[in-house]
A and B are shown apart, each in its own frame.
Chain A
Amino acid sequence: MSWEVFIDALAWLFVLSGSFFLFIGSLGMVRLKDFWARIHAASIIDSAGAGLLLFGMMLGTGFSLITVKLVLIVLFLAITGPTASHAVVNAAFSIGSRPKDLLEDATEGVVELPEWMQQKSEKPEVVTKRKKASGAKKPTTRNRKPAAKKGTK
Chain B
Amino acid sequence: MFAFATAAISVCMILLMIRLFAGPTLYDRVAALNQFGTCTVLFIGACGLAFGRPDFLDIALLYALINFVGTIAVLKFFRYRRLGDEPEEIEMIVDTSEDEADVEASEGAKA
**A interface, CB within 8 angstroms of B:** 8, 11-12, 15-16, 18-19, 22-23, 25-27, 29-30, 35, 38-39, 42, 45-46, 49-50, 53-54, 56-57, 60-61, 66, 69-70, 72-73, 76-77, 80-81, 83-85, 87-89, 91-92, 94-97, 120-121, 124-131, 133, 138-141, 144, 147-148, 150-153
Contact = CB atoms under 8 A, between A and B. Distances in A.
A151 B110 CA distance: 7
Interface residues of B, number: 61
B57 A141 contact: no
Contacts of B79: 91, 94
A6 to B, nearest CB: 15
Contacts of B110: 151
Q: Classify the interface of chain B: helix, strand, loop or mixed.
A: helix
A44 B80 CA distance: 29
A128 to B, nearest CB: 5
A84 B4 contact: no
A50 B42 contact: yes
A97 B26 CA distance: 11
